[in-house]
Amino acid sequence: MPALNALAAAPLAGGTTIGDAVHVVHLYIIEPHPQRPDPSPYSGVVWEGQYSTKRQPRTYAERVAAARDMVPLVTARQAILVDDLTPGASNPVWCTYGTCPNCAFLIRQDGTVDTVQTWLDASAMERAIRALLGR
pLDDT at residue 51 tops 90: no
Asked whether residue 135 is domain-assigned, the answer is no
Q: How many domains does the chain have?
A: 1
CA nearest to 74, candidates 125, 129, 27, 132: 27
Terminal Cα distance for the chain, rounded: 24
Asked whether residue 92 is domain-assigned, the answer is yes
pLDDT at residue 100 tops 90: no
Dihedral class, residue 78 (left if φ above 0, else alpha if ψ from -120 to 50, else beta): beta
In tens, the pLDDT along 108-134 reads 999 999 999 999 999 999 999 999 999
Per the structure, the complete domain to which residue 102 belongs is given by 2-130
Asked whether residue 65 is domain-assigned, the answer is yes
Cβ atoms of 19 and 8 within 8 Å: the answer is: yes
Work out the average pLDDT over 10-22. 95
